[in-house]
Structure 1
Amino acid sequence: MNKLFFDSGISLDGFLAGDHRGPQNPLGDGGMSIHNWMYEGGQENGPESKLVEDTLARTGSYIMGKRMFEEGEPNWPEDLYKADVYVLTHEKRDPWVQKGTTVFHFINDGIESAVKKAKNSSRGKDIRIQGGAETIQQFLNAGLVDEFILHISPVILGSGIRLFEGIDKTKFIIEIAEVIPGGLSTHVKYNLKLKDQ
């Protein structure tokens, strides 16, 4: 059965991105420092590289918000996702077929429709909610997330976009499934269950 999950870097004070985001600064002021673990000092065959490989291998399709798409698209290489990507929007737009296997589909009839379409194209694999924060929050509050991975970096941003802003905390039971220590980040896998299940 397909699982819905997200995988996100955050600062110690809970921010997904800093202030002043835009296409030229998609993670905002200081936001890139949250992801230093991916670019600096990791071992090619260490636990962090295995975590990245496993996450990519389990993902059959992606869902993201329009803002993430608009801010990331100018900087992304061709065929970055190598899968179908469902972009939540209010606009009607034809799919954008890239060279390779990445196709961006623009969904304007709600998150349930995006999930259904993502399941149909995921080849039995899991569906990754790619972001941004508002999209992740929407899926959490709808009770659709099965698990998530946080990459907690030893960085304090002080302000920006909080990952868990506006989440109904009474809705879930969150269990730690695994902790993977790293040199520049601590990686924690969580299982998430609705309290009424």
Structure 2
Amino acid sequence: MGTVILHSVMSVDGFIADDRDQVGTLHDWYFDGDVPIIGGGDQEYDHSGSGGGVRVSKASAEYVRSTWATIGTIVMGRTLFDLVNGWEGRPPAGDHVVVVSHRPKPEGWHPEASYHFASDVTAAIEKAQELAGERTVAVNAGDVGGQILAAGLVDEVAMDVVPVVFGTGKRFFGGVDRQHLLEDPHVVIQGERVLHLRYRVRR
């Protein structure tokens, strides 16, 4: 089975979005660099609406490219799915998506896309690993990501920390209410307006 990595971009005070699910400046570094990154469907991925695709700094490019290249399946919650409309069936990385939701896939929604819906986090990870094989399962942080961590199903935590303080909003670890120990970071990369960190979960 591939590694299960809990990941997101976050503020220095631990938020992945504000109270209205807006990311503000958190994702600016994805679009302010000079090095293009190729995403899902071998096309430049762009969720900014600018049409310029993902372009990161040279300092971040190798890390982002190598991370995206290993992903087989993305696991996301229904809130994010609805916010981005499932990236219109073309995820930024990987070939498959598993959505944790008690509601089924919208009728007629992109039947060609490998999107699967699971009613709980354990079933979601099982399906994601089946689809990913030896490749990475990337879990989006937030409430669902926190539930997956609490269930003991996360192998690593990856954070792209942006120098901004939100003060309030949607937390990286959602509603996790007990301590979880991580190892010392085995990835520390200083990008431009972002710090990439990765930790293994201590067993």
Q: TM-score, normalised by structure 2?
A: 0.79
Q: Which residue of the partner structure matches residue 117 of structure 2?
A: 106
Long gaps (5+) in structure 2: 37-56
Contact 2:122–2:148 (Cα < 8 Å) also in 1: no
Q: Which residue of the partner structure matches residue 174 of structure 1?
A: 183
Moved more, 46-55 or 133-142: 46-55
CA distance in 1, matches of 2:125, 2:138: 10
- Asked if 1:116 is matched to 2:108, the reply is no
Aligned residue pairs: how many?
181
C-alpha spacing 1:168/1:158, structure 2 compared with 1 (3 Å): closer
CA distance in 1, matches of 2:147, 2:12: 22
- Asked if 1:5 is matched to 2:16, the reply is no
C-alpha spacing 1:128/1:95, structure 2 compared with 1 (3 Å): farther
Contact 1:4–1:144 (Cα < 8 Å) also in 2: yes
Long gaps (5+) in structure 1: 22-27
CA distance in 1, matches of 2:24, 2:88: 18
What's the offset of the Cα at 1:95?
A: 8.5
CA distance in 2, matches of 1:51, 1:39: 15
- Asked if 1:48 is matched to 2:60, the reply is yes
Contact 1:42–1:48 (Cα < 8 Å) also in 2: no
- Asked if 1:155 is matched to 2:164, the reply is yes
CA distance in 2, matches of 1:151, 1:50: 14
Q: What is the root-mean-square deviation in Å for CA atoms of aligned residues?
A: 2.3
Larger fraction in strand:
1
Matches within 5 A, 1:24-173: 28=22, 31-43=23-35, 46-73=58-85, 76-81=87-92, 82-93=94-105, 96-97=109-110, 99=112, 102-108=113-119, 110-131=120-141, 133-173=142-182
C-alpha spacing 1:173/1:130, structure 2 compared with 1 (3 Å): closer
Contact 1:16–1:162 (Cα < 8 Å) also in 2: yes
CA distance in 1, matches of 2:73, 2:91: 12
CA distance in 1, matches of 2:171, 2:19: 11
The one-letter code matched in structure 1 to 2:25 is: S
The 3-state SS of whatever aligns with 1:150 is: strand
Q: Which residue of the partner structure matches residue 51 of structure 2?
A: none
Aligned-residue identity in percent: 27
Contact 2:89–2:115 (Cα < 8 Å) also in 1: no
